[in-house]
Amino acid sequence: MTTTNLRLRFCHVAVALLLSLLPSSALAEPTDSLVRFETTHGNILVRLFNDTPIHRDNFLKLVREGFYDGLLFHRVIPDFMAQAGDPASRNAPAGKALGEGDVGYTLPAEIAFPRHCHLRGALAAAREGDEVNPQFRSSGCQFYIVTGRKYNPYNFGKMRQTAETKTGIAYPDSVVEAYYDHGGTPWLDGTYTVFGEVLEGIEHVEDITYVERDTADRPIYDVRIVRATIVRQ
Protein backbone atom coordinates (compact mmCIF):
# COMPACT_ATOMS: atom_id res chain seq x y z
CA MET A 1 0.00 0.00 0.00
CA THR A 2 1.06 3.60 -0.46
CA THR A 3 2.21 5.44 2.65
CA THR A 4 2.17 9.13 1.71
CA ASN A 5 -1.48 9.71 2.53
CA LEU A 6 -1.04 7.96 5.87
CA ARG A 7 1.90 10.23 6.65
CA LEU A 8 -0.03 13.42 6.21
CA ARG A 9 -3.04 12.09 8.05
CA PHE A 10 -0.94 11.97 11.24
CA CYS A 11 -1.65 15.70 11.33
CA HIS A 12 -5.31 14.94 12.01
CA VAL A 13 -4.63 14.65 15.70
CA ALA A 14 -8.00 13.43 16.90
CA VAL A 15 -7.98 10.37 14.63
CA ALA A 16 -4.30 9.59 14.37
CA LEU A 17 -4.50 6.21 16.08
CA LEU A 18 -7.48 5.10 14.03
CA LEU A 19 -5.93 6.12 10.74
CA SER A 20 -2.75 4.25 11.49
CA LEU A 21 -4.80 1.05 11.31
CA LEU A 22 -6.38 1.76 7.92
CA PRO A 23 -5.07 0.98 4.42
CA SER A 24 -4.22 4.06 2.39
CA SER A 25 -7.08 3.41 -0.02
CA ALA A 26 -9.51 3.97 2.84
CA LEU A 27 -8.12 7.40 3.71
CA ALA A 28 -9.57 9.28 0.72
CA GLU A 29 -13.21 10.06 1.30
CA PRO A 30 -15.70 9.61 -1.58
CA THR A 31 -16.31 13.37 -1.54
CA ASP A 32 -12.63 14.30 -1.87
CA SER A 33 -11.47 15.99 -5.07
CA LEU A 34 -8.57 14.25 -6.80
CA VAL A 35 -6.23 15.71 -9.42
CA ARG A 36 -3.62 13.88 -11.47
CA PHE A 37 -0.50 15.59 -12.79
CA GLU A 38 1.12 13.85 -15.73
CA THR A 39 4.72 15.05 -15.69
CA THR A 40 7.87 14.31 -17.61
CA HIS A 41 9.02 12.41 -14.51
CA GLY A 42 5.86 10.36 -13.88
CA ASN A 43 2.31 10.79 -12.62
CA ILE A 44 1.40 12.43 -9.31
CA LEU A 45 -2.06 12.01 -7.80
CA VAL A 46 -3.14 14.59 -5.22
CA ARG A 47 -6.13 14.89 -2.92
CA LEU A 48 -7.56 18.33 -2.13
CA PHE A 49 -8.85 19.05 1.37
CA ASN A 50 -12.52 19.98 1.72
CA ASP A 51 -11.80 22.20 4.72
CA THR A 52 -9.70 24.56 2.60
CA PRO A 53 -12.51 25.27 0.11
CA ILE A 54 -11.17 28.53 -1.34
CA HIS A 55 -7.89 26.89 -2.34
CA ARG A 56 -9.62 23.68 -3.44
CA ASP A 57 -12.10 25.44 -5.70
CA ASN A 58 -9.50 27.77 -7.18
CA PHE A 59 -7.17 24.84 -7.91
CA LEU A 60 -9.97 22.87 -9.59
CA LYS A 61 -10.92 25.91 -11.66
CA LEU A 62 -7.37 26.31 -12.95
CA VAL A 63 -7.10 22.59 -13.75
CA ARG A 64 -10.41 22.68 -15.67
CA GLU A 65 -9.11 25.64 -17.68
CA GLY A 66 -5.91 23.77 -18.58
CA PHE A 67 -3.86 26.40 -16.78
CA TYR A 68 -1.23 23.97 -15.50
CA ASP A 69 -0.78 22.10 -18.78
CA GLY A 70 2.74 22.71 -20.05
CA LEU A 71 4.03 24.58 -17.01
CA LEU A 72 7.40 23.79 -15.45
CA PHE A 73 8.53 22.81 -12.02
CA HIS A 74 10.58 25.98 -11.93
CA ARG A 75 12.12 25.71 -8.44
CA VAL A 76 13.28 22.46 -6.90
CA ILE A 77 15.41 21.85 -3.81
CA PRO A 78 16.48 18.43 -2.51
CA ASP A 79 15.12 17.52 0.93
CA PHE A 80 12.76 20.49 0.72
CA MET A 81 10.17 20.81 -2.08
CA ALA A 82 9.26 21.13 -5.77
CA GLN A 83 7.42 24.28 -6.88
CA ALA A 84 5.31 24.90 -10.00
CA GLY A 85 2.49 27.05 -11.31
CA ASP A 86 4.24 30.12 -12.73
CA PRO A 87 2.43 30.93 -16.01
CA ALA A 88 5.60 32.54 -17.34
CA SER A 89 7.27 29.12 -17.31
CA ARG A 90 5.19 27.64 -20.13
CA ASN A 91 7.43 28.88 -22.93
CA ALA A 92 10.36 30.10 -20.86
CA PRO A 93 13.77 29.93 -22.55
CA ALA A 94 16.60 28.19 -20.76
CA GLY A 95 18.06 30.22 -17.93
CA LYS A 96 15.17 32.67 -17.61
CA ALA A 97 14.42 33.60 -14.00
CA LEU A 98 11.00 32.31 -12.95
CA GLY A 99 8.76 32.49 -9.92
CA GLU A 100 7.15 35.93 -10.22
CA GLY A 101 4.27 35.01 -12.54
CA ASP A 102 0.70 35.06 -11.26
CA VAL A 103 -2.96 35.20 -12.25
CA GLY A 104 -3.65 38.69 -10.95
CA TYR A 105 -5.14 37.76 -7.59
CA THR A 106 -4.24 36.16 -4.28
CA LEU A 107 -6.22 33.93 -1.92
CA PRO A 108 -6.90 34.46 1.78
CA ALA A 109 -4.96 32.10 4.00
CA GLU A 110 -6.74 28.91 5.07
CA ILE A 111 -4.16 27.67 7.56
CA ALA A 112 -5.53 24.71 9.49
CA PHE A 113 -2.60 23.64 11.66
CA PRO A 114 -2.26 21.09 13.23
CA ARG A 115 -4.96 19.35 11.19
CA HIS A 116 -2.90 20.01 8.08
CA CYS A 117 0.86 20.43 8.31
CA HIS A 118 3.97 20.25 6.16
CA LEU A 119 4.72 16.55 6.33
CA ARG A 120 6.31 14.82 3.35
CA GLY A 121 3.80 14.88 0.48
CA ALA A 122 1.95 18.02 1.57
CA LEU A 123 0.51 20.17 -1.24
CA ALA A 124 0.68 23.85 -0.27
CA ALA A 125 0.27 27.30 -1.78
CA ALA A 126 3.28 29.48 -2.48
CA ARG A 127 3.09 33.15 -1.49
CA GLU A 128 4.93 36.43 -1.21
CA GLY A 129 7.23 36.91 1.77
CA ASP A 130 6.15 38.02 5.24
CA GLU A 131 7.47 41.56 4.87
CA VAL A 132 5.04 42.37 2.04
CA ASN A 133 2.39 39.83 2.96
CA PRO A 134 1.71 39.86 6.71
CA GLN A 135 -1.68 38.18 6.20
CA PHE A 136 0.03 35.15 4.58
CA ARG A 137 -2.21 35.39 1.49
CA SER A 138 -1.54 32.66 -1.05
CA SER A 139 -0.56 32.89 -4.68
CA GLY A 140 -3.54 32.36 -6.94
CA CYS A 141 -1.71 29.71 -8.95
CA GLN A 142 1.74 28.71 -7.65
CA PHE A 143 2.06 25.66 -5.40
CA TYR A 144 4.70 23.38 -3.96
CA ILE A 145 4.91 19.75 -2.90
CA VAL A 146 6.95 18.96 0.20
CA THR A 147 9.62 16.29 0.34
CA GLY A 148 11.58 17.55 3.34
CA ARG A 149 13.71 15.50 5.69
CA LYS A 150 13.28 13.58 8.92
CA TYR A 151 13.79 15.22 12.29
CA ASN A 152 15.07 14.17 15.69
CA PRO A 153 14.46 15.66 19.14
CA TYR A 154 17.53 17.91 18.88
CA ASN A 155 16.97 19.60 15.53
CA PHE A 156 13.19 19.64 15.84
CA GLY A 157 13.42 21.23 19.26
CA LYS A 158 15.44 24.18 17.98
CA MET A 159 13.08 24.72 15.05
CA ARG A 160 10.01 24.27 17.25
CA GLN A 161 10.99 27.02 19.64
CA THR A 162 11.50 29.48 16.77
CA ALA A 163 8.25 28.53 15.05
CA GLU A 164 6.12 28.65 18.17
CA THR A 165 7.54 32.04 19.13
CA LYS A 166 6.95 33.46 15.66
CA THR A 167 3.46 32.13 14.99
CA GLY A 168 2.04 31.18 18.38
CA ILE A 169 1.24 27.67 17.19
CA ALA A 170 1.80 24.65 19.43
CA TYR A 171 2.94 21.27 18.12
CA PRO A 172 0.87 18.31 19.41
CA ASP A 173 2.91 15.24 20.28
CA SER A 174 1.36 13.27 17.41
CA VAL A 175 2.58 15.84 14.89
CA VAL A 176 6.07 15.88 16.40
CA GLU A 177 6.25 12.09 16.16
CA ALA A 178 5.08 12.23 12.55
CA TYR A 179 7.93 14.59 11.67
CA TYR A 180 10.35 12.21 13.38
CA ASP A 181 8.99 9.23 11.46
CA HIS A 182 8.24 10.68 8.05
CA GLY A 183 9.89 14.08 7.68
CA GLY A 184 8.76 17.31 6.10
CA THR A 185 9.29 21.05 6.44
CA PRO A 186 7.83 21.97 9.84
CA TRP A 187 9.24 25.51 9.89
CA LEU A 188 6.55 26.43 7.31
CA ASP A 189 3.67 25.42 9.59
CA GLY A 190 1.34 28.20 10.61
CA THR A 191 2.40 30.58 7.84
CA TYR A 192 1.55 28.75 4.58
CA THR A 193 -1.73 27.12 3.56
CA VAL A 194 -1.57 23.34 3.14
CA PHE A 195 -4.58 22.42 0.99
CA GLY A 196 -3.88 18.87 -0.15
CA GLU A 197 -1.60 15.87 -0.12
CA VAL A 198 0.03 13.41 -2.50
CA LEU A 199 -1.71 10.04 -2.65
CA GLU A 200 0.49 8.48 -5.33
CA GLY A 201 3.76 9.44 -6.97
CA ILE A 202 5.74 11.02 -4.14
CA GLU A 203 8.75 9.12 -5.48
CA HIS A 204 8.45 11.15 -8.70
CA VAL A 205 8.43 14.38 -6.69
CA GLU A 206 11.60 13.18 -4.95
CA ASP A 207 13.20 12.49 -8.33
CA ILE A 208 12.27 15.97 -9.54
CA THR A 209 13.97 17.63 -6.57
CA TYR A 210 17.24 15.89 -7.37
CA VAL A 211 17.59 16.94 -11.00
CA GLU A 212 20.50 19.19 -11.96
CA ARG A 213 19.61 22.84 -11.32
CA ASP A 214 21.05 26.32 -11.71
CA THR A 215 21.88 28.88 -9.02
CA ALA A 216 18.21 29.94 -8.87
CA ASP A 217 17.17 26.30 -8.29
CA ARG A 218 15.56 26.03 -11.72
CA PRO A 219 16.17 22.63 -13.35
CA ILE A 220 18.77 22.79 -16.10
CA TYR A 221 16.59 20.47 -18.20
CA ASP A 222 12.91 21.29 -18.13
CA VAL A 223 10.68 19.26 -15.81
CA ARG A 224 7.19 19.84 -17.13
CA ILE A 225 3.58 19.23 -16.16
CA VAL A 226 2.36 17.68 -19.40
CA ARG A 227 -1.26 17.71 -18.31
CA ALA A 228 -3.36 18.15 -15.18
CA THR A 229 -6.74 16.44 -15.02
CA ILE A 230 -9.52 16.18 -12.47
CA VAL A 231 -9.97 12.55 -11.53
CA ARG A 232 -12.85 13.31 -9.16
CA GLN A 233 -14.45 16.48 -7.86
pLDDT in tens, 13-24: 433 433 333 333
In b/e form, how buried is each residue of 208-221, taking b as 16+ CB within 10 angstroms? bbebebeeebbbee
Report pLDDT for 166. Answer: 82
Using a pLDDT cut of 70, give the percent of the chain over it.
Answer: 88
Confidence of residue 28 (pLDDT cuts 50, 70, 90): low
The closest of 121, 137, 112, 119 to 50, measured between CA atoms, is: 112
Looking at residue 27, its pLDDT comes to 54
196 pLDDT more than 50: yes
Q: What is the mean pLDDT of residues 185-202?
A: 96
Q: Which amino acid is at 134?
A: P
Amino acid 9: pLDDT: 46
Q: Which stretch of DSSP H or E encloses residue 159?
A: helix 153-167
pLDDT of residue 122: 98
CB under 8 Å to 153, separation ≥6 — which residues?
180
- 17 has which bridge partners? none
Answer yes or no: is pLDDT of 167 > 60. yes
